[in-house]
Structure 1
Amino acid sequence: MKLTPEQARTLIEAQHPDPFSVLGLHGGEVVALVPGADRVWALGDAEVELTEVVPGIFAGEWGEPSYRLRAQNAQATWDFDDPYAFAPVLGAMDEYLIGEGTHKRLWEKLGAHAITHQGVAGVHFAVWAPNARRVSVVGEFNFWDGRHHQMRRLGATGVWEIFVPGIHEGALYKYELLDASGKVLPLKADPVGFGAEHPPAQASVVRKLGLHRFGDGAWCGTRAQAQERHAPISIYEVHLGSWVRVWDEGGRPLSYHELAEKLVDYVCDMGFTHIELLPITEHPFDGSWGYQPIGLYAPTIRHGRPEEFAEFVDAAHKRGLGVILDWVPGHFPTDDHGLKEFDGTALYEHADPKEGFHQDWNTLIYNYGRREVSNYLLANALFWLEEYHLDGLRVDAVASMLYRDYSRAAGEWVPNKYGGRENLEAIEFLKAMNAASYGGAPGIMTVAEESTAFPGVTMPVHEGGLGFGYKWNMGWMNDSLRYFARDPIYRKHHHNELTFASSYAFSENFILPISHDEVVHGKGSMLGKMPGDDPEKFANLRAFYAFQWAHPGKKLLFMGQEFGQWSEWSHERELDWYLLNDPRHAGMRNLVRDLNRLYRETPALHWGDCDPGGFSWSAADDAEASVYVFERHAPGSEPVVIAANLTPVERTYRIGLPQGGHWVEILNTDSGHYGGENRGNLGAVEAETFTQSHRDYSAEVYLPPLSVVMFAPHSN
């Protein structure tokens, strides 16, 4: 026997530093690790019973180039392929790129892949754990016993791999790791797993990619034009689990298959151009809304399998809708089965909590300066864009990534190498992510949720910027909500809260967001924020939406706010759809639908969202009346003039007009169709040759109380 009892003991105790160097066929001897077996045979042209060296380890001479194994105990006899008879799957170039941190298609090599290797079907597992003493893949297929499938370490990369024959798509698995001292760590989910069990269960699931055949070539070929800064972009933000529930089936959320019909139909009917999904990356806690993900490479099983999510995206594309994913590279949860101290060390996170722990969210922070971690995240961005044809990524909590002192007091953060507060490593990661995303998936867009004045967020990387396509305009959102929440009697003292945004509206490519963050945690719903009695609340909110759609910047509205939901959003129940039986709520939805239609069909309302040539004030300083008048323009198209009366007083008001003729009232938020009182201008006004607001033409118009009215020349 070439195998020594000491070697056998370390193998069965899963303590051998290199099990592949002993197990399998070496020098005419087969060594088999079969815990739980009483007898084992090598099978080929011959059949040889192997000798038990220690319980679970069997060895014997073998003269053929290949073999299978047969094992027997008191309960059963079974034949199987020995996982230690297979050569590595990953090649030298993969090792080199992974070690260098430049493998942009990392998901094709790490994770669990159902493949045929050396003519045998099975699953190849690979995971990065450079400081582990031993890594095993465990699952139902080996009784969750880490002795069975001890993995092979590949060189100095820190990647461990094994091909396990005979298991298939749908198998549950985790990784069992020993840290450098030999301590067994909590079982870990796969950082590059493509599927997971239904929470609160925590195992990863072997899932095949590419099972859905996309038919969205036409959309993908033209989406660059649909997502550029002069295009109309109006986004419906959705939490899939609480949009609609199936109450006759226990209140379950809709499946991806159902959403591909119901949600896509609804968003198309409402005239939005995009659906933005709160994170659907797998997450253990419903109450995190997906913002504390464990499975960055897995669409949540709450709504179905990966190919069903792909079906949903494809269905949206076939109807001309873009799909944006909220993506969270800013932090990750402390759950033991996640990335926390993955191999017994601070592998993905910083070891120092001053750099690696978010106090606000009780979450960990990625170490963006570690090349393998940066590679892991960058490849994840490309994964969603390439594998699922997503049209954009909205990056959550960018400000927390950019600044080392984010939400930290003096002494609670570590300065950068220059002594500053900027997180230089995160900045470089974001630049690399944007460059790779735009380069690897033409026509996509990336969006930053960034709440500070960090310069150049939407400036191209080659010009020194971060490289995002768009940025949420948090300043506009805060100022506008603060203004509209005021009693109208006081608004004249805060007139600049609506005019100030125009001073920086074109410093970045902005999206105007009314997101889920504005209707939770005691903030009230949009309708609930409005002052006055119920009719005034509805009138104020109608005026707010029209002001938002008329103001420069792309649009975003969170689900339920389009029909004026009274209550705050809760992830635990569906939206209050019954409110649509009330004409006031149905009217609010009619308004949002018409705003989207006007916005899409009228170049002046969208061409200049990110271009100063598309906007000008006509009356910006009438604080006493709380009236605002401005114009929107587009090259080669008729202008639109917008007038807002934000007091509960009806007014006859002279507005300047950029040209003479017949001006049609193309929208009036006081229309009865929207739940208003049907007060207006009888459909149109005539321009007079009378100078007003530096315009040669003007007209006296009727402005209903708490309203926004839009006018366009008759030819429009």
Structure 2
Amino acid sequence: MKELKKLPLIVDEPWLEPYESKIEKRFQNYQNAIRAINDFSGSILEFAGMHEYFGVHFDKLRNGWVYREWAPAAKALFLMGDFNWWDRNSHPMRSSPRGDWEIFLPYEEYKHTFVHQSKIKVRVIGANDSDLDRIPAYIRRVVQDETNHDFAGQLWFEPQPFSWTDQDFSLDEPAKMPLIYEAHVGMALEAAKVGTFIEFEELILPRIKAGGYNAIQLMAVMEHPYYGSFGYHVSNFFAPSSRFGTPEDLKSLINTAHGMGIAVIMDIVHSHAVKNVNEGLNEFDGSDHQYFHPGPKGYHEGWDSKLFDYGKWEVQQFLLSNIRYWMEEFHFDGYRFDGATSIIYKHHGLVSFDSSDKYFDEGVDEDALLYLQLANTVIHALNPKALSIAEEVSGMPGLCRTIADGGIGFDFRLAMGIPDYWIKTLKHKLDEQWDMFELWHELTNRPKLEKSIAYAESHDQALVGDKSIAFWLMDKEMYFSMTVLEQNLVVDRGIALHKLIRMITLTLGGEGYLNFIGNEFGHPEWVDFPRLGNDWSYQYARRQWSLVDDPLLRYQQLDKWDKVMIQLAKDHQMLSAPPAIQLHLDPDKKIIAYERGNLIFVFSFHPTESFFGFPIKVPQAGTYQIILDSDETQYGGFARLEKTMKYKTDKEQQVSLYVPNRTVMVMGRGK
């Protein structure tokens, strides 16, 4: 009998051999699912095409509009809206044995009433005898009434198709080495208001381009009823949030970004959905188990939201169609999957992962893992270079290996332990207590064949109740002492460590890098959206660009450092280079040196002492020179290093360096 060939994941990770049968079973589950999908739909892309069937569409053959809805347990559905003066009874829909409901509106009869921008809802008599006016599940635009704040679906028939000009845009660089700028359109302006897609395109995209970033991760794209949810309580999965503008406005933003060579990634929320009955999917057909798990299993207590039943074909089709829709209709270049840990585990990751068994025990939702494999299959079938990123904290093995290897198929995982490490260090340790061994471990401990996106902080670390790294470092001094006209020891320390933290995270922590909007220049304070508790203020739901634009403030020094740091990574293909090789680690002097991308990085985290003639053994003999250092005055330093100096290796292949405290120097070898 021929022995089955081991999956590459098992070959490359021998420690997984005790779980080989379970990993094989996951692979078989995927193959079985693909076969069933192909038998049913012909291909997975056809399977993920339900957005072209459900919802409102114009049928050219029948010359009229057809509206379809999946509501298997409902007793009756009625379409209503501006077109019939909101009559809740005049337009009943008919059902099929599959649980689909349908109504046809002839063009000649409705051409003057069923029109662009008119509003609709569907009245649903539910299985529980509820009688509610709902928003169609596949609706592509939802608007809120300014008077009564009620949400309704809106017909969106483009007068003419959007003219895309991004045919020559290439994903080669972002896919190979993503340098991601995480941003929220609504809070991107300095004005105390909700920003728009158009304002973001005109005012913020140029800043991102100037910063050197090659990808944007857009938050809060899908419609959500509560602005303060940061976009994570989604109600309408196929509708761009109307508070930011029209669908064409979003297309324009993405088209312009592509023209600048910038990829646009959506922060997609398939981990849960808003529990609201009036705006969302919850109890749509009058049951608690249409889109979601029934009972307590379908409710996330920590998030106060509903949880999808990934084992249902109709739910798979809904979510996979959602993936296809945003990529095809809006030209998104991939996704960052929010809450992947919560998706994967029935306990949502709220346990200690102190044993490898927990990646394969009954706590894992195998239906959810299969869904993520299918999702990644759809993404890469649509665009092989598209980016698929998992927000995953448990360290699920194989998450970022191909499905053929035995993995889940993501391209990258967010290195979520790194920002947690930085915040804990800043909160709980004095500078002299920083542990260099722990720092090295936290930034380098990742699967060797799975790619990570490193970041010092994202939106998570800046939410109200926490602080940005800059604010942890400088606190109230940021209000009074950020001028270049005076010296302040707290600010000097903060600026020095801010630069070191970001540089070592970028160059040591992964194969990609992420920054949250404004943090590149040390944006002060936290993020807090308008709510009752802050008297509906926009004070903290904005970005104060005037700070970095003022040459008399030190924010500009941090911004210059971020730009040169990102450019260094691009020039030397830093993140696509193999992981760093440690050259030196001195726990007492708090010096770390390593080589990556043919460059030598020497960091001193010592709070007070500088060292003369400090020996660092380098990989190759020759003459070295500083090409960048954080102590330059333009970056807020003290100009203690001489960049014209040449450092020749001795007979032990060492260079002797002057290493000032709280600095990083980047060295290159001469030809």
TM-score (norm 2): 0.83
* 1:624 aligned onto 2:593: no
Distance in 1, matches of 2:446 and 2:62, equals 62
Distance in 2, matches of 1:307 and 1:373, equals 28
Q: What secondary structure sits across from 1:641 in the alignment? A: strand
Distance in 2, matches of 1:201 and 1:669, equals 53
1:169-205 C-alpha deviation (Å, 9 max, x unpaired): 2121111111236x24321112111101037431011
Distance in 2, matches of 1:148 and 1:452, equals 53
- Partners of 1:227 and 1:444 within 8 A in 2: no
* 1:149 aligned onto 2:96: no
* 1:325 aligned onto 2:266: yes
Q: What residue in structure 2 maps to residue 128 of structure 1?
A: 70
- Partners of 1:332 and 1:364 within 8 A in 2: yes
Q: What residue in structure 1 maps to residue 464 of structure 2?
A: 521
1:666-702 C-alpha deviation (Å, 9 max, x unpaired): 22112111111122133443222232xxxx2x22222
Residues 676 and 107 of structure 1: CA distance in aligned 2, closer, same or farther (over 3 Å): same
Residues 492 and 296 of structure 1: CA distance in aligned 2, closer, same or farther (over 3 Å): closer
Q: What residue in structure 2 maps to residue 647 of structure 1?
A: 606
- Displacement of 1:431 in angstroms is 0.5
* 1:195 aligned onto 2:164: no
1:486-509 C-alpha deviation (Å, 9 max, x unpaired): 655433546323334324263521
Distance in 1, matches of 2:168 and 2:389, equals 23
1:261-314 C-alpha deviation (Å, 9 max, x unpaired): 222211110101111111210000001111111111111111211122111111
Distance in 2, matches of 1:175 and 1:147, equals 10
What percentage of residue pairs aligned between the two structures are identical?
A: 24
Q: What secondary structure sits across from 1:533 in the alignment? A: helix
- Partners of 1:480 and 1:498 within 8 A in 2: no
- Partners of 2:464 and 2:528 within 8 A in 1: no
Q: What residue in structure 2 maps to residue 389 of structure 1?
A: 331
Q: What residue in structure 2 maps to residue 106 of structure 1?
A: 50
Counterpart of 1:197 in structure 2: which amino acid?
V
Decide which moves more: 194-203 or 499-508: 499-508
Q: What residue in structure 2 maps to residue 586 of structure 1?
A: 556
Q: What secondary structure sits across from 2:418 in the alignment? A: helix
Distance in 2, matches of 1:678 and 1:129, equals 69
Decide which moves more: 104-113 or 282-291: 104-113
Counterpart of 2:610 in structure 1: which amino acid?
E
Q: What residue in structure 1 maps to residue 115 of structure 2?
A: 168
- Displacement of 1:385 in angstroms is 1.3
Residues 583 and 495 of structure 1: CA distance in aligned 2, closer, same or farther (over 3 Å): farther
- Displacement of 1:104 in angstroms is 1.2
1:598-653 C-alpha deviation (Å, 9 max, x unpaired): 111113x2222xx44xx200013x100111000003xxxxx100011002222232
Residues 625 and 492 of structure 1: CA distance in aligned 2, closer, same or farther (over 3 Å): farther
- Displacement of 1:664 in angstroms is 2.6
Q: What residue in structure 2 maps to residue 56 of structure 1?
A: none
Decide which moves more: 568-577 or 548-557: 568-577
Residues 709 and 237 of structure 1: CA distance in aligned 2, closer, same or farther (over 3 Å): same
Q: What residue in structure 2 maps to residue 704 of structure 1?
A: 660
Q: What residue in structure 1 maps to residue 495 of structure 2?
A: 538
Q: What secondary structure sits across from 2:134 in the alignment? A: coil
- Displacement of 1:484 in angstroms is 4.9
Counterpart of 1:707 in structure 2: which amino acid?
T
Q: What residue in structure 2 maps to residue 69 of structure 1?
A: none
Q: What secondary structure sits across from 1:495 in the alignment? A: helix
- Partners of 1:384 and 1:390 within 8 A in 2: yes
Equivalences, count:
587
Distance in 2, matches of 1:690 and 1:491, equals 35
- Displacement of 1:97 in angstroms is 5.0
Q: What residue in structure 1 maps to residue 570 of structure 2?
A: 600
- Displacement of 1:657 in angstroms is 2.2
1:456-467 matches, within 5 Å, as: 456-467=398-409
Q: What residue in structure 1 maps to residue 544 of structure 2?
A: 576
1:557-601 C-alpha deviation (Å, 9 max, x unpaired): 101111111211234331122322243110000011111111111
Distance in 1, matches of 2:261 and 2:582, equals 34
Residues 584 and 235 of structure 1: CA distance in aligned 2, closer, same or farther (over 3 Å): same
Unaligned runs of 5+ in 1: 1-92, 411-415, 634-638
- Displacement of 1:139 in angstroms is 0.9
Residues 494 and 549 of structure 1: CA distance in aligned 2, closer, same or farther (over 3 Å): closer
1:53-75 C-alpha deviation (Å, 9 max, x unpaired): xxxxxxxxxxxxxxxxxxxxxxx
Q: What residue in structure 2 maps to residue 280 of structure 1?
A: 221
Distance in 1, matches of 2:80 and 2:273, equals 24
* 1:212 aligned onto 2:162: yes
Counterpart of 1:213 in structure 2: which amino acid?
S
- Partners of 1:283 and 1:292 within 8 A in 2: yes
Q: What residue in structure 1 maps to residue 517 of structure 2?
A: 559
- Partners of 1:397 and 1:449 within 8 A in 2: yes
Counterpart of 2:119 in structure 1: which amino acid?
L
Q: What residue in structure 2 maps to residue 243 of structure 1?
A: 188
Counterpart of 2:267 in structure 1: which amino acid?
D
* 1:372 aligned onto 2:314: yes
1:496 to 438, 441, 465: 438
Unaligned runs of 5+ in 2: 1-36, 353-357, 475-488, 530-537
- Partners of 1:101 and 1:372 within 8 A in 2: no
Distance in 2, matches of 1:185 and 1:632, equals 63
- Partners of 1:645 and 1:704 within 8 A in 2: yes
- Partners of 1:127 and 1:161 within 8 A in 2: yes
